[in-house]
Structure 1
Amino acid sequence: MNEDRNHSSLLVPPSTQDHIQGVLSAKVVLVMYGDYQCFRSADVYKLIQGIRRELSAALGEDDLCLIFRHFPQTQIHPHAQRAAQAAEAVAAQGQFWSMHDTLLAHQQNLENGYLVEYANDLGLDIPQFLKDLPKQVHIGRINEDIEGGIESGVTTTPALFINGIRYTGRWNTTELMTAIVAASH
């Protein structure tokens, strides 16, 4: 496999199996690999959300799509894997993005008790959540995200692909927005 391609292109294309904000047919599709315990992942997600709000008026509501894929770095973030499993258990109940936002907002509190509390706060079926989490029902989904990230050259989080090309610029509003706008043309 070509090393440069490995590190600059998204090798697992976006699909309806992904966690999506927006539509896959958007002019710009952002794929973010993140880790719930990684502070930079949370900062970049907030940055992207701000850009999405700004650009939705300029580009249109359906012109920017965000996809989140799990890439827990368990060697440095001991609670990231469990948090990803909680997000997937909640996704099975239709509340992925609510839990996603909660986990990123409370990165310092990702132990099991907190995960149950967050699920409860979202009004979820707690017995089902408590059944899914310890059995690691959704671990396959997380591992697929990790494997796809590795195939695309992801080694750390956050990692962002804009229309399938790895974003290597700075993590600030101006540079990221410029890259997104350029990709929309």
Structure 2
Amino acid sequence: MNRLSVGVDSGDHIAGPRSAAVTLVEYGDYECPYCGEAYPILKAVQQAMGSDLCFVFRNFPLAQMHPHAVHAADFAEMAAAEGKFWEAHDLLYENQQALSDNDLRRYGKLLGIHPAAVERAFDGRFDQKIEDDFRSGLRSGVNGTPSFFINGMRYDGPLDVDSLIAVLREVHAR
């Protein structure tokens, strides 16, 4: 079982309290169909666990397989700089089949982000953050998406709402 090599810190995208008894880290790719399948499951798990769960998302774009993944990650990071990471994250997963640069520009408008900020998203300013996330994933043994870690330990079990909630509640009870 692999361990998370880089702990959760202020540079991460975090939903829920940092003090929660259970932390679930996802390494994801916005264009990955398996991440897309996991998205509604994770939303349901977050809802069910409430303040007992700290959910963290890290970028792991598989650029050779998913040509729009890097720009989607750039867009999400730009949205984070505008205080709208989770809104962008959700929009990208809810519209996985439309991730061209023109689609991302349209999503920027939907989120109320100035068009110039969206254009700057693709100039390389977020490359280091995305690369740092990716490298932390590699050091943690991530070799595909989505990959999950529960309280620092790799989770490769069933990915359905009931199974994941059961595991998270078991970890919480410990």
Say yes or no: does 1:112 pair with 2:106: no
Q: Is the 8 A contact 2:30 2:61 kept in 1?
A: yes
Normalising by structure 1, we get a TM-score of: 0.90
Aligned to 1:184, the other structure's residue is in SS state helix
Q: Specify the alignment match of 2:152 in structure 1.
A: 164
Alignment partner for residue 86 of structure 1, among 75, 78, 102?
A: 75
Larger radius of gyration: 1
CA drift at 1:126: 1.6
Give aligned-pair identity as a percent: 37
Instruction: Write out the 4+ residue segments of structure 1 that deviate beyond 6 Å after TM superposition.
Output: none
Say yes or no: does 1:140 pair with 2:128: yes
Q: Specify the alignment match of 2:170 in structure 1.
A: 182
CA drift at 1:45: 2.4
CA drift at 1:55: 2.5
Alignment partner for residue 53 of structure 1, among 25, 44, 47?
A: 47
Q: How many angstroms apart in 1 are the aligned matches of 2:85 and 2:29?
A: 15
Partner letter of residue 151 of structure 1? R
What's the RMSD between the two structures over aligned residues? 1.0
Partner letter of residue 51 of structure 1? V
CA drift at 1:183: 0.9
Alignment partner for residue 43 of structure 1, among 24, 37, 47?
A: 37
* CA pair 181-83 structure 1, distance change in 2 beyond 3 A: same
Partner letter of residue 119 of structure 1? G
Say yes or no: does 1:13 pair with 2:2: no
**Paired residue total:** 173
- Structure 1: segments with no counterpart, 5+ residues: 1-6
Q: How many angstroms apart in 2 are the aligned matches of 1:52 and 1:101?
A: 13
Normalising by structure 2, we get a TM-score of: 0.96
- Structure 2: segments with no counterpart, 5+ residues: none
